[in-house]
Amino acid sequence: MMIVCPTVTATNIADFKKQLDVAESLSSRVHLDLMDGILTTRTSPSLSEIGQIRYKSLVDIHLMYQEVVASLDAIIKMKPNLVLIHYLDNLNLMQIFTTLKTHKIKTGLVLSSLPSDKAKINSILVQIDHVLIFGGKLGFQGGVADLSLLPIVHWLKESYPKLEIGWDGGINKANIKIFLQAGVEVFNIGSYIQASFNPQNAYVNIIQEIG
């Protein structure tokens, strides 16, 4: 099922709550960018601040962290729908995903390029729920979509048809059908909605485009 997830990308708790209010007023599923200041230059509010919020919508967490394990307990307490983790050499991804699954949390891998070792990534892809193709500027809204990553979507659709595939980065009304036709199912949209004079109209425009 196709769904539009408004994105929250903020460096302080006031902006975080403001963007979250917009996102939750529009969709039953929202996308939270959480940043450590290392993997990306920006830093989100603390997990203790974010964890105190009562969320009305299903929450997908895009964890832009270099070190993930130390944050897992705080993430699990938030009871997210899905946790998205970057493909990084320093992480034991299967151990992390196993921990999340024991808490009935869906697991997702973030790709910004196709790893050269497909055999290694295969062992991950057959056990997770979602792959997010990241085609923007990490930690920022308002970037331009990197359409050179679309072949990754095609490969995933052909090789792993049961995986839910999302795209994050540069989606707007003018280009959303490109992602739709490629096989993207979850459209994570930041600035087109959050920076709009009328976020509700922007959201409706997107919904109408994907039918």
Q: How confident is the model at residue 169 (pLDDT cuts 50, 70, 90)?
A: very high
* pLDDT tens digits for range 101-149: 999 999 999 999 887 777 778 989 999 999 999 998 876 787 899 999 9
The answer to whether the CB of 106 falls within 8 A of the CB of 83 is yes
Nearest to 91 by CA among 73, 113, 109, 112: 109
HSE at residue 116, side-chain half, CA atoms within 13 A, is 1
CA angle 55, 56, 58 (to 5 degrees): 80
pLDDT at 136: 84
Query: Which two structure tokens, joined as six digits, stand for 36?
Result: 């450590």
46-70 mean pLDDT = 95
pLDDT at 15 over 80: yes
Q: How confident is the model at residue 50 (pLDDT cuts 50, 70, 90)?
A: very high
For residues 199 and 187, give the distance between their C-alpha atoms in angstroms, rounded to a whole number: 15
Query: Which two structure tokens, joined as six digits, stand for 65?
Result: 């962290």
Nearest to 86 by CA among 67, 110, 106, 103: 110
Tokens 């990553």 locate to 149
For residues 183 and 210, give the distance between their C-alpha atoms in angstroms, rounded to a whole number: 12
66-80 mean pLDDT = 94
For residues 138 and 196, give the distance between their C-alpha atoms in angstroms, rounded to a whole number: 20
Beta pairing, strands 106-111 & 82-86 = parallel
For residues 166 and 183, give the distance between their C-alpha atoms in angstroms, rounded to a whole number: 9
All structural domains of the chain:
3-210 (3.20.20.70)
For residues 210 and 27, give the distance between their C-alpha atoms in angstroms, rounded to a whole number: 15
